[in-house]
Amino acid sequence: MTTSIDAVIPDRFAKYLDRDFKMLIGGALVGATSGRTFATTSPVTETVIAHVPDGGEDDVAAAVVAADQARKGWAATTATDRAAVVRRIADVIEAHTEELAALDTLDAGSPISNARADVAMAVEHLRMFANLALEIKGTTIPASSNIHMTVREPIGITARIVPFNHPLMFACKFAAPLVAGNCVLVKPPEVAPLSALRLGELLAPVVPAGVLSFLVGDGPAVPRAIVRHPKVRRIGFIGSEATGRAIQRDAAETGVKDVTLELGGKNAMVVFPDADLDKAAAGAVFGMNFTWSGQSCGSNSRLLVHESIADQLTAKVVSEVEARTIGSPFDDNCEQGTMVSQRQYDRALEYIEIAKAEGATVLTGGGRPDGFDHGFYVRPTVLGGVQPESRIAQEEVFGPVLSIITFSDEDEAIAIANSVEYGLTASVWTQDITRAHRVIGRLEAGYTWINGSSRHFPNVPFGGYKASGVGREESIEELLSYTELKAINIML
């Protein structure tokens, strides 16, 4: 279902653009040292909505100097006091939910209801990490009659490089390193920087100067300068595999650094004949993250269906997709907004054409919805007749495109699921608990569901196998990854 829209930004959203967006460096709100700015465009209206600082190497250097001056004092702060600061951050964000959500809708095209949910999830994770502060602890080891123990210490200066699909929520990935006693440089996405820059402004009076910085620039200059700076020793990145590899190379050229990468996914949802097909259809649509126009690394973009139920399940999925409301993301009832940029819009449409050329059939969707003269909208698309080795089945689209692939038996399903270079998420749908455990155990993926999809849960570690990344997040594992482990041997 689509609803035609105009390209006017409602006043209740436009009011949040009436400000100067600045970077937070050393506790001060500043423009770029060069004085340059760049424009950010709304994917909903295709118009410029703000100008933001175009930072560069000098700005990164200033942020590192400020962090270097602050790091010892912050590390010496007790874990409970650091947790208290992070709780205050959560309170500030929660109090500004509507504003921060509106900025993400304006800047990234996400439906306002989902943008609010992102803010709520950010708050939940901030509080979770604050509550885990006292878990930053060591152990004792009975290695001899002496005393052997470990302690965990902060790393120092760390960085978080933020993707465009959940700008505010992922900007709050500073939670774990802050609680662990580190200073953090946050680099928001250049295509959607507004919510993070506003967050920096809100947090300037909350966090000690230099402990938390927000820097943005148009292009690779700022993230490269952050990654390559010798004093930035720990980096967390969410984004594409290509950029993740570039970060690994840059980091290796300037030091021995700890890098966490959450990268792409071409995730499989495997449905066996005994599954509840109504629930499976709903799970396939929910797990595809159409609400975010499929712009999620965890989307189950490959629906693997046993051939005996393929027609029945396909019909249910198509019906679910066609019932969705595409419209203005400013509307509370909108279920799907825009792609984040012209580039992502073009990419999604290109892959649909590639799939058709490879022999796939467009069962629903397949292009721009009627009545949409402005905005980077792509109809939610379901493809049938997809071959496992085709590009549409192997490569990440990062758009609202779901491919249906059939299989004849369990071994074939597992082989198809594992045939891609990625291994982020996977799900298995069956009423046979023995089969469920058996198949999950053979799938090469880091975050899995049985009879479920898409949902994340507090303190359950998220991360991928193979080209989907390195490390785990959203959990105690993430918190501890921002510490150094020191062994102490006391000779009696």
| Domain residue spans of the chain | 11-263+469-488, 268-458
What DSSP string runs through 101-143? HHHHHHHH---HHHHHHHHHHHHHHHHHHHHTGGG----B--S
Cα separation, 372 vs 366, in Å, equals 15
Cα separation, 383 vs 271, in Å, equals 16
> Which listed CATH number (3.40.50.1100, 2.30.42.10, 3.40.309.10, 3.30.70.60) goes with 268-458?
3.40.309.10
The question of whether 297 is a catalytic residue gets the answer yes
What DSSP string runs through 335-352? SB---SSHHHHHHHHHHH
pLDDT on residue 371: 87
Closest CA to 228 of 7, 389, 2, 56: 56
> Which listed CATH number (3.20.20.70, 3.40.50.720, 2.160.10.10, 3.40.605.10) goes with 11-263+469-488?
3.40.605.10
Catalytic residue among 190, 297, 473, 474: 297
Closest CA to 198 of 296, 118, 97, 280: 97
What residue type is assigned to position 264 of the chain?
Answer: G
The question of whether 262 is a catalytic residue gets the answer yes
Closest CA to 159 of 291, 64, 27: 64
Give me the sheet containing 23-25, strands edge to edge. Answer: 28-30, 23-25, 212-214, 183-187, 157-161, 232-238, 258-262, 469-470
pLDDT on residue 1: 53
Cα separation, 25 vs 212, in Å, equals 8
Which backbone phi and psi does 364 adopt, to 5 degrees?
Answer: -160, 155
Tokens of 412: 């074939």
Query: CA dist 187 to 106, 217, 218, 320, 463, Å?
Result: 19, 8, 11, 37, 21
| Below-50 pLDDT ranges, the chain | 3-4
Catalytic residue among 190, 241, 262, 335: 262
- 3-class state of residue 473 by DSSP: strand
If one counts every other C-beta atom within 10 angstroms of the C-beta of residue 29, the result is: 16
pLDDT on residue 4: 46
